[in-house]
């Protein structure tokens, strides 16, 4: 095979980013947009050391699992990668993906259940974050194309809140009328960098403008555009981010309209959520995730629970109702303030929270407290090795691991297994339909 060759091949697998994988002349060929069970014609566009990249030119025989993607920028935008696959087949893909990670990375043989399906296949996200770029005279607001910083302009996104459309059009009016300058990452000049929208289950919205500066022009006009047209906007925040960084939010923020928080109801509890505070992006499915974890942990009023990476205390407070006592640890101070507030708001008196890095705070907490169960819900990079070693050295009887990345989960389970823990069944929970992402819950028990 050489570049620009036309090839025909059968697709027999899906890659981690949702690309179809077939084989030709002994090489794996990755073809974006092709599905297992299909015969396709592709043009060779790159020959890498271990694989070939083909561009889909024609589907010669289509998979019965193929569906028509509803989004007009599907295939261009780097957001969703599975809109062309039926939802049932997406779930099957996710189960296989988790199983492969556990076997290949973790070298473990664990039962992996079929994923709990999401209640909504579209419009399920409660948070949208869009970069803004100047494109000649036009302002592009949207998503980056896959593996690039090239922006695909969008006026709606099918997995985001439906209010997004109106938010985008009102923002464009304000941007143009007030000649708001747009951030240019190559020169580190210009004001507006990102737009973030959060929505709670009641449909209330928080709009966050991430700016490279200290203020925006004509705030009154911006507020007026939302106050009358979209009264669901309860909060407008400026987040100051003047660093040369890919991080979206800056460390400081100020509320210029309404309140600097939204309330969300999860598992029958109320949570105050600030602009910096992590919240699972699929609120409806978050309840399924937490209920799955709590069912698998089977907490009793004798348990002292340590909830690591606790965010605004959402899991902690749901666990506190079933346990003797809960201790939460979280890096972001605003989230910890919200967690403390949320405990009071819900009349929960058996939960306390500490702000700081888990690896730093963990040893002293484990020494002080007779912890019977630990919950970990780390970011995608998984657990620091020091955290796994500290937990294993403490001999805590039970660990509930919530993971948004099956690869790092498998790596961490392997280390726990070496250090005397055995993992039970892995339960994937689909929080992210139309994408290859999947959340997993697994409970580990100390063997001694």
Ligand X SMILES: C[S@@+](CC[C@H](N)C(=O)[O-])C[C@H]1O[C@@H](n2cnc3c(N)ncnc32)[C@H](O)[C@@H]1O
**446 tagged catalytic:** no
Cβ closest to ligand X, residue 294 vs residue 310 = 310
Cβ closest to ligand X, residue 42 vs residue 441 = 441
The stretch near ligand X (CB under 6 A) out of 22-30, 108-116, 162-170, 328-336 is 328-336
Cβ closest to ligand X, residue 169 vs residue 350 = 350
- Cα distances from 99 to residues 11, 377, 385, in angstroms, run 20, 20, 22
Token digits of residue 425: 């069944």
Query: Could you give the CA distance from residue 279 to residue 125 in angstroms, rounded to a whole number?
Result: 11
Query: Could you give the CA distance from residue 304 to residue 289 in angstroms, rounded to a whole number?
Result: 21
Cβ closest to ligand X, residue 56 vs residue 281 = 281
What residue numbers does the annotated binding site for S-adenosyl-L-methionine cover?
280, 309, 330, 377
Residue showing the smallest CB distance to ligand X in the complex: 311
User: Is residue 191 within a helix (H) or strand (E), and if so which, with residue range?
Assistant: none
Largest CA distance in the chain: 68
What residue numbers does the annotated binding site cover?
280, 309, 330, 377
Query: 418, 424, 422, 360: which is closest to 387 by C-alpha?
Result: 360
Q: Where are the beta strands (DSSP E) in 302-349?
A: 304-308, 325-330
- Residues numbered 395 to 414 that lie near ligand X (CB under 6 A) are 404
The stretch near ligand X (CB under 6 A) out of 31-39, 221-229, 272-280, 392-400 is 272-280
Binding characters for ligand X, 287-326, by CB under 6 A (x = yes): ----------------------xxx--xx-----------
284 binds ligand X (CB under 6 A): no
Rounded to the nearest whole angstrom, what is the least distance from the CB of residue 372 to ligand X in the complex? 19
In contact, 182 and 190? CB cutoff 8 Å: yes
280 binds ligand X (CB under 6 A): yes
Collapsing DSSP states into helix, strand and coil, what is residue 333? Answer: helix
439 binds ligand X (CB under 6 A): no
In contact, 427 and 400? CB cutoff 8 Å: no
440: CB partners within 8 A, 6+ apart = 98, 401, 402, 403, 406, 409, 426, 427, 428, 429
Q: What angle do CA 328, 334, 337 make, to 5 degrees?
A: 55
Binding-site size, ligand X (CB under 6 A): 19
270 binds ligand X (CB under 6 A): no
271 binds ligand X (CB under 6 A): no
Cβ closest to ligand X, residue 65 vs residue 116 = 116
In contact, 138 and 153? CB cutoff 8 Å: yes
Backbone angles phi, psi at 95, to 5 degrees: -65, -45
Task: Identify the active-site residue in 71, 157, 310, 404.
Answer: 404
The stretch near ligand X (CB under 6 A) out of 64-72, 146-154, 255-263, 330-338 is 330-338
Quickly tell me which residue has 């507006």 as its tokens: 192
267 binds ligand X (CB under 6 A): no
Quickly tell me which residue has 């999860």 as its tokens: 266
Among 98, 168, 262, 335, binds ligand X (CB under 6 A): 335
The stretch near ligand X (CB under 6 A) out of 220-228, 249-257, 278-286, 406-414 is 278-286
The interaxial angle of helices 358-368 and 385-394, nearest 10 deg, is 10
379 binds ligand X (CB under 6 A): yes
251 binds ligand X (CB under 6 A): no
The stretch near ligand X (CB under 6 A) out of 48-56, 142-150, 331-339, 341-349 is 331-339
Q: List interacting residues with ligand X (CB under 6 A).
A: 278-280, 309-311, 314-315, 329-332, 335, 357-358, 377-379, 404
């Amino acid at each position: 095979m050489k570049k620009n060759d036309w090839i025909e091949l059968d697709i027999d697998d899906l890659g981690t980013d949702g690309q179809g994988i077939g084989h030709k002349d002994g090489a794996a060929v990755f073809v974006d947009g092709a599905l297992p069970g299909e015969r396709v014609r592709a043009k060779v566009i790159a020959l890498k050391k271990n694989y070939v990249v083909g561009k889909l030119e024609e589907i010669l025989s289509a998979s019965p699992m193929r569906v028509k993607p509803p989004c007009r920028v599907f295939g261009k935008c780097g957001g969703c990668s599975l809109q062309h696959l039926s939802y049932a087949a997406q779930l099957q893909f996710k189960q296989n993906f988790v199983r492969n990670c556990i076997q290949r990375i973790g070298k473990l043989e664990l039962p992996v259940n079929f994923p709990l399906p999401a209640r909504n296949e579209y419009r399920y996200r409660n948070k949208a974050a869009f970069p803004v770029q100047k494109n000649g005279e036009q302002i592009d607001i949207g998503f980056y194309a896959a593996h690039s910083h090239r922006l695909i302009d969008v006026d709606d996104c099918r997995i985001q809140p439906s209010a997004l459309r109106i938010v985008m059009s009102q923002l464009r009016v304000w941007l143009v009328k007030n000649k708001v300058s747009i951030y240019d990452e190559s020169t580190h000049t210009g004001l507006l960098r990102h737009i973030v929208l959060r929505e709670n289950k009641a449909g209330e919205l928080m709009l966050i403008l991430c700016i490279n500066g200290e203020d925006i022009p004509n705030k009154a006009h911006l507020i007026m555009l939302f106050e009358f047209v979209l009264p669901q906007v309860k909060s407008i925040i400026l987040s100051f981010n003047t660093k040369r960084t890919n991080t979206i939010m800056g460390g400081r923020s100020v509320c210029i309209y309404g309140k600097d928080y939204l309330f969300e109801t999860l598992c029958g509890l109320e949570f105050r959520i600030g602009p910096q505070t992590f919240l699972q992006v699929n609120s409806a499915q978050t309840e399924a995730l937490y209920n799955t974890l709590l069912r698998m942990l089977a907490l009793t009023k004798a348990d002292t629970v340590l909830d690591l990476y606790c965010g605004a205390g959402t899991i902690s407070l749901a666990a506190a109702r079933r346990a003797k006592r809960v201790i939460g640890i979280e890096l972001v101070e605003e989230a910890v303030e919200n967690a403390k507030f949320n405990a009071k708001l819900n009349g929960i008196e058996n939960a306390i929270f500490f702000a700081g890095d888990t690896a730093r705070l963990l040893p002293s907490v484990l020494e002080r407290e007779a912890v019977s169960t630990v919950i970990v819900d780390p970011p995608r990079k998984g657990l620091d090795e020091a955290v796994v070693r500290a937990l294993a050295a403490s001999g805590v009887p039970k660990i509930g691991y919530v993971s948004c990345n099956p690869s790092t989960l498998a790596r961490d389970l392997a280390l726990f297994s070496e250090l005397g823990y055995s993992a039970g069944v892995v339960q994937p929970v689909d929080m992210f339909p139309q994408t290859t992402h999947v959340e997993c819950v697994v409970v580990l028990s100390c063997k001694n």
